[in-house]
Chains A and B, each alone.
Chain A
Amino acid sequence: MTDSSLKKAWLSLSPDANEPEIASKLVMPEILKILGFDQQEICQEYFTGQGNQKVDVAARKNTKNDDFSHTKNNAALIVELKKRKLDLQSFNNPYKNAVKQLKGYLHPTSINCRKANWGLLTNANRIQLFRRHGRVVYPYTTNIELTADNIDEKISIIKNFIDNQTKALLIALYNNKGGVGKTTTTINLAGILSLPKPLGFGKKVLIVDFDPNQKDLSDLLDIQPGKLSLFDFYKDRKNLKINDVITQYRFREKYGFDVIPADEKFLKATATELGSIAKGSLRQALLPLKNLYDYILIDSPPGDSQFTHEALTAADVILMPSKHNGVASFKNAAMAMKTIFPALGESRRVYEPELADPTPLPIFFNGESITPAAKEQAQNAIKSIIQQAKQDEKIDLMHFFFPKWTKEQKNLEIFEMPSYAHIASAAFANRPAVFTSKVACEYYRNLVQEYFI
């Protein structure tokens, strides 16, 4: 069996290859070619649009009159290269800095990269694919170690992910503790995202109420079940249509979002019936919907149940509303990050190789008035949790709790959703507060602009 030209190119690299060599021998002629870009669709030293910042390589498909190698704008994919000898193992500083750099290139201020959905980080020894959806930049693959024997397979996996990209970002709303405002956040997020501009963002949103126990969401919005219940859909998912499970929630017949309502049948099911639902069923069920929506929000129950796992398994990223007044909720969050998410990630990877774990977004304090003293107390508690996780389990929770933290500027800021009576009381009126309150709109717009758009 002759080696592929990709493998030959990789083998031809010098052991201490630097970025230009990796670009010219491996990335441009081989990797990007496999990903479907030919030489006129690739640029080196691409201006990201933020000042004089440049990224090593960028690519985009050409259209009739638009030759990317000449126009050099609107890249679809960017590649950040590092020297081969740099240790890009996860959790080490060079890796963390490189990821930060890549995220910077995909930040909204990098005007010339606004259309880029994918970022590749590689030094020939390691490669990782990141996906960008609005403001969210998250790892799509694990931090893959490349060898001569596996390079064909790994690049093909990456190509497969890129070729099958879909529109939606799947967000699980999760917290081990109950009562933190997951459901309120879910419906108001969906509300503000789906409201037309300039009030909202004009996006197509689907909510999945996966908390059959509480059914808060479906009850709150007074959702009527669709033609088909989710439980019944699971009985014969190959021959039934998921679209029949979807109900529309419309406010004043004008705007709104779609809902897969909670299904009481899950509650009435026996343990055996529940146990007989194949793992990953929700993930599979949502697959055909990923090109119909911009956002799919999954409201998951608190705790560590089968339903929670199904919701997390289906998600790309995880949003964790929290309360500040208790170490327990931070410890729970840390625990989830250390054990639950990686375990589910492992399960997913058995048949979807190199797919990254579901990524947690930074926590935020939801609906509280926090005094400066209480805030400091919370920050100190969190600092010791981070310290302990670093020492004992070699896991870095810093950017989950303090996303703006840098060595130079030890920024301990955690995003806060202010407490606002109207948001909670809207529950009694069967509607998301954002549909009736301008202030609520402002608060949630702020949340969206911090995290998503």
Chain B
Amino acid sequence: MKQEIGALLHLYLDEIQAGEPTEVHDFLIQGAAKTINETDGRNWIPLIVKQTGFEEYQVIANSFVLAVAQAAGLNKVWCIVADDSENTQRSAQMLAQEIVSKINLVTATRDEIKVGLDYLIRRSTNPLVGVKLAIATERINSAARETWKESLMDVTKLKCGITTGSKLNIFKEVFYVMPMKKVVSVEAEKPSTVISPSNTSADSQKKSLDKLTVAELKTLAKERGITGYTKMKKADLLGVLSQA
């Protein structure tokens, strides 16, 4: 039977499939498990699940609670049944502080960049050290972010303290760019539209194609159905792609 969305149900643990495993330290899990046993086996913070089958559910957020319920040896755990949309899952995970929001560098405003950097610099776990907020914000904001690659290596070239390695990884926890395949047009306002070569002039297209690596150009060629691309050099690839 389909359960009501929003229902607060006391579900059997063996009907619930874990989602992403929690990364929380065992100390915290064991501590919470002890308190559950002190409160009559009731988890006052519910698990958020979606119904996937007749008597089957899957965790979509707050997996910490599932780990605690298991550690406490509970038979059943209190859950809220949510709908199965991606938005709901993302929102619930954010409310459970399991994920943070992400900023798309291609469309981000200066303020967004600033606040994201500030979060990374000032947070207590694994912060971004040696980065000056004002300088980094300024340099990132002025850069041609729409041409940046997924790897975000471009930010290291700005020399604002975000170096390759662990600092870049921290930077990537919040910041990202849409994959280059979808962003060939130079227009900064529509970065996520699919390639439509007929939109852009041959020249500007050639300029942005130039910035791609050979591997990326070959992928583009494959997508466009161009044959014989494997043996082509960069110049050849640029030639066929700007014609298409």
Contact = CB atoms under 8 A, between A and B. Distances in A.
B8 A280 contact: no
A277 B10 CA distance: 8
A245 B78 CA distance: 25
A313 B2 CA distance: 11
Interface in B98-149: none
Contacts of B75: 236, 239
Interface residues on A, range: 10 to 19
Interface in A261-307: 272, 275-280, 283-284
Given A347-B2, A350-B2, A351-B2, A278 B54 contact: no
Contact of A272 (B8, B12, B53): B8
A276 B1 contact: no
B216 interface: no
B10 A352 contact: no
A280 B1 contact: yes
Contacts of B7: 275-276, 278-279
Select the residue from B2, B8, B9, B12 with max chain A CB neighbours within 10 A: B2
Nearest to A234: B10
**A contact face: mostly helix, strand, loop, or mixed:** loop
B4 interface: yes
Contacts of A238: 12
Nearest to B56: A351
Interface string B160-173: 00000000000000
A348 interface: yes
A276 B54 contact: no
Nearest to B78: A276
A351 B1 contact: yes
Interface in B200-241: none
B97 interface: no
B151 interface: no
B8 A350 contact: no
Select the residue from A235, A272, A275, A351 with max chain B CB neighbours within 10 A: A351
Contacts of A277: 9
Given A278-B3, A313-B1, A351 B8 contact: no
Contacts of A278: 1, 3, 7, 9, 11
Interface residues of B, number: 15
B10 A276 contact: yes
B8 A279 contact: no
Contacts of A279: 1-4, 7
B1 A348 contact: yes
Interface in B1-54: 1-4, 7-12, 53-54
Contacts of A351: 1-2, 53-54
B10 A350 contact: no
Contacts of A276: 7-10, 78
Nearest to B81: A278
A278 B55 CA distance: 10
A278 B8 CA distance: 9
A277 B9 CA distance: 6
Contacts of B78: 276
Interface in A1-28: none
Interface in A320-374: 347-348, 350-352
Given A238-B12, A275-B8, A352 B54 contact: yes
A350 B1 CA distance: 7
* Pairs of residues from A and B, 8 with the lowest C-beta to C-beta distance, nearest first: A280-B1, A351-B54, A350-B2, A279-B1, A347-B2, A276-B8, A278-B9, A276-B9
30 contacts: A235-B10, A236-B75, A236-B76, A238-B12, A239-B75, A272-B8, A275-B7, A275-B8, A276-B7, A276-B8, A276-B9, A276-B10, A276-B78, A278-B3, A278-B9, A279-B2, A279-B3, A279-B4, A283-B1, A284-B1, A313-B1, A347-B1, A347-B2, A348-B1, A350-B1, A350-B2, A351-B1, A351-B2, A351-B53, A352-B54
Given A276-B78, A278-B3, A279-B7, 17 more contacts: A235-B10, A272-B8, A275-B7, A276-B9, A276-B10, A277-B9, A278-B7, A279-B1, A279-B2, A279-B3, A280-B1, A313-B1, A347-B1, A348-B1, A351-B53, A351-B54, A352-B54
